[in-house]
């Protein structure tokens, strides 16, 4: 990427300001690295007119790696003095380096800009799709996805492929959001979809309400004018909504989950919908400023994901040898071993792996929990430092290539934008994922979305549009 003189001067000014700010913090080195990495990610991955899903994914990685540094600065303590783990500083340095390596790989894999080629087609299609039909499609997708999720757990051998099909629900939500914002019509219907998704998310065991916010926000940012006017206001409102909902969920989730599983400790929902709604109302009604204040620290601890790597550094290689690529080899092979053909394939137990490599017992399936090391820590277990950066760079290249293939794999770029957003934004955007699950999710999601584009994309768009949908030549 070429950088003009004005941009170069801006980078120098930002770097100097970051250095000055960092010098007055309790953690100057880590603060400087964190502050410099943020604009570096923007320079590498922001492309006006395209979905910023890779920037979002790496941005959330950055937040998970650095938020504890900023929290320590606020309370005036060195990171090493926080009561988390003695190797927390080393783990944070390695995680920041890992995020940078993944981002470099993603930039390499995504190829040249596509927006100048696709913009005319995107605008044309967005102008022809019926907002009413998109609204209906979203409602049908929500119902279908809910049904598919229930079926998935009845047929364990098909659980991953069936769950991959549920990505199509978010393709519809993306298309609807983009068209509403592009045409500045249909905000009432979009608000209904948003409200339904938030309610459905809160009624479940996990905090699925945030997914709709992420998809809508990325749709709003898919425009060369995304930082102006209505789109900027929409992004700001969605960001405020996810922060408020996140704090609320953090404060009530323990009590709410205990109510859902009726004290069994399992990740199950045993209460009927009417009782769930009433319980949510009671818990939210009891919220106070003090409880929101307590939820801030809890949310910081939930977002950060460096402490397990710190524990792993204590254990590997001092007590357990490096695996020399075994963990990544298993992750790459697993998607091509469907359980229907390989019934003896081991069940993924994240907590068991975490307990083994950290030397510390963590809650497992018996307690209704699944706690992963995260794939940066797994890369360290395989290759140590700095060898861990090589698989992370390759993973970034794979993410960039997946983005490129999905965006360019259809004659309808808007459909490609939607597919790339849900594939990467929902499947590869958090540090805590195990590489076993992350690679499988990417491969299966890629297969489902490409099949949808090639086999059903034109038919779906023709139904959504009252007139024939043009396509890019």
Nearest to 340 by CA among 182, 147, 156, 86: 156
Locate tokens 């519809």: which residue?
Answer: 172
Instruction: Kindly report which listed range (75-84, 100-109, 175-184, 446-455) carries the lowest average pLDDT score.
Output: 75-84
d(CA 301, CA 473): 49
Stretch 437-464: mean pLDDT: 92
Q: 136-185 pLDDT, tens per residue?
A: 999 999 998 888 777 766 665 666 777 778 889 999 999 999 999 988 89
> Does residue 353 fall inside a structural domain?
no
> Does residue 95 fall inside a structural domain?
no
d(CA 295, CA 246): 9
Indicate the burial class of 407 (C-beta count within 10 angstroms; 0-12, 13-18, 19 or more): buried
> Does residue 27 fall inside a structural domain?
no
DSSP H helices, 286-388, are 289-303, 307-315, 326-333, 350-358, 375-383
The model's confidence at residue 238, banded by pLDDT at 50, 70 and 90, is: confident
Q: Determine contact, residues 413/469, Cβ cutoff 8 Å.
A: no
Instruction: Kindly report which listed range (350-359, 375-384, 461-470) carries the lowest average pLDDT score.
Output: 461-470
Instruction: Kindly report which listed range (13-17, 24-28, 246-250, 454-458) carries the lowest average pLDDT score.
Output: 13-17
Nearest to 428 by CA among 416, 442, 415: 442
Segments forming the whole domain that contains residue 452: 117-313+359-464
DSSP tag of 348: P
> Does residue 287 fall inside a structural domain?
yes
Stretch 332-344: mean pLDDT: 75
> Does residue 228 fall inside a structural domain?
yes
Q: How many CA atoms lie within 13 A of 51 on its CB side?
A: 34
Task: List the end-to-end C-alpha distance of the chain, in Å, as a whole number.
Answer: 27
Per-residue pLDDT at 8? 60
CA-based R_g, the chain, Å: 22
The yes-or-no verdict on residue 463 having pLDDT over 70 is: yes
Q: Residue 386, preceding bond cis, omega within 30 degrees?
A: yes
More confident residue, 425 or 11: 425
What contacts 338, CB < 8 A, 6 or more positions away?
Answer: 157, 161
The yes-or-no verdict on residue 472 having pLDDT over 70 is: no
The yes-or-no verdict on residue 422 having pLDDT over 80 is: yes
More confident residue, 387 or 276: 387
> Does residue 149 fall inside a structural domain?
yes
Q: How many CA atoms lie within 13 A of 136 on its CB side?
A: 9
Helix (H, G, I), strand (E, B) or coil at 206: coil
Locate tokens 């706690």: which residue?
Answer: 371
Per-residue pLDDT at 2? 45
Q: 388-417 pLDDT, tens per residue?
A: 999 999 999 999 999 999 999 899 999 999
Q: Determine contact, residues 94/386, Cβ cutoff 8 Å.
A: no
> Does residue 22 fall inside a structural domain?
no
pTM listed for this prediction? 0.91
> Does residue 225 fall inside a structural domain?
yes
How many structural domains comprise the chain? Answer: 1
Stretch 436-448: mean pLDDT: 92
d(CA 171, CA 141): 9
d(CA 135, CA 318): 57
């Amino acid at each position: 990427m070429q950088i003009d003189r004005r941009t170069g001067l801006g980078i120098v000014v930002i770097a100097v300001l970051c250095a000055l700010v960092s010098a007055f913090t309790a953690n100057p080195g880590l603060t400087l690295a964190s502050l410099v990495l943020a604009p570096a990610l923007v320079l590498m991955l922001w492309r006006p007119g395209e979905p910023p899903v890779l920037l979002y994914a790496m941005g959330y990685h950055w937040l998970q790696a650095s938020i504890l540094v900023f929290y320590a600065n606020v309370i005036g303590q060195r990171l090493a003095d926080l009561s988390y783990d003695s190797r927390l500083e080393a783990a944070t340095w390695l995680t920041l380096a890992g995020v940078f390596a993944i981002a470099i790989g993603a930039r390499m894999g995504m190829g040249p800009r596509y927006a100048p080629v696709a913009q005319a087609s995107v605008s044309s299609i967005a102008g022809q799709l019926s907002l009413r039909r998109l609204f209906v499609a979203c409602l049908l997708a929500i119902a279908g996805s809910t049904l598919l999720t229930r079926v998935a757990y009845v047929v364990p051998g098909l659980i991953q492929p069936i769950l991959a099909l549920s990505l199509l629900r978010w393709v519809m939500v993306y298309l609807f959001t983009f068209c509403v914002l592009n045409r500045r019509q249909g905000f009432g219907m979009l608000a209904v979809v948003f409200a339904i998704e938030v309610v459905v998310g809160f009624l479940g065991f996990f905090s699925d309400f945030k997914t709709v916010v992420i998809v809508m926000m990325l749709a709003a940012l898919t425009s060369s004018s995304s930082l102006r006017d209505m789109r900027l206001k929409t992004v700001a409102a969605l960001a405020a909504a996810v922060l408020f909902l996140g704090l609320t969920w953090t404060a009530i989730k323990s009590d709410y989950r205990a109510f859902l599983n009726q004290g069994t400790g399992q990740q199950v929902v045993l209460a009927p919908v009417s009782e769930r709604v009433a319980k949510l109302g009671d818990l939210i009604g009891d919220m106070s400023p003090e409880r929101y204040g307590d939820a801030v620290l809890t949310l910081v601890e939930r977002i950060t994901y460096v402490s397990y790597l710190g524990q792993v550094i204590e254990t590997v290689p001092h007590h357990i040898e490096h695996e020399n690529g075994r963990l990544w080899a298993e992750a790459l092979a697993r998607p091509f071993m469907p359980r229907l053909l390989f019934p003896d394939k081991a069940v993924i137990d994240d907590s068991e792996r975490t307990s083994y490599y950290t030397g510390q017992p963590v809650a497992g399936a018996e307690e209704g929990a699944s706690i992963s090391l995260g794939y940066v820590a797994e890369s360290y277990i395989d290759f140590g430092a700095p060898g861990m950066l090589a698989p992370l760079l390759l993973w970034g290249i794979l993410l960039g290539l997946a983005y490129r293939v999905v965006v360019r794999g259809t004659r309808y770029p808007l459909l490609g934008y939607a597919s790339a957003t849900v594939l990467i934004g929902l499947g590869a955007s958090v540090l805590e994922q195990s590489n076993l699950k992350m690679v499988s999710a990417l491969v299966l999601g890629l297969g489902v979305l490409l099949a949808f584009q090639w086999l059903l994309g034109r038919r779906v768009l023709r139904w959504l549009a009252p007139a024939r949908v043009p396509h890019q030549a």
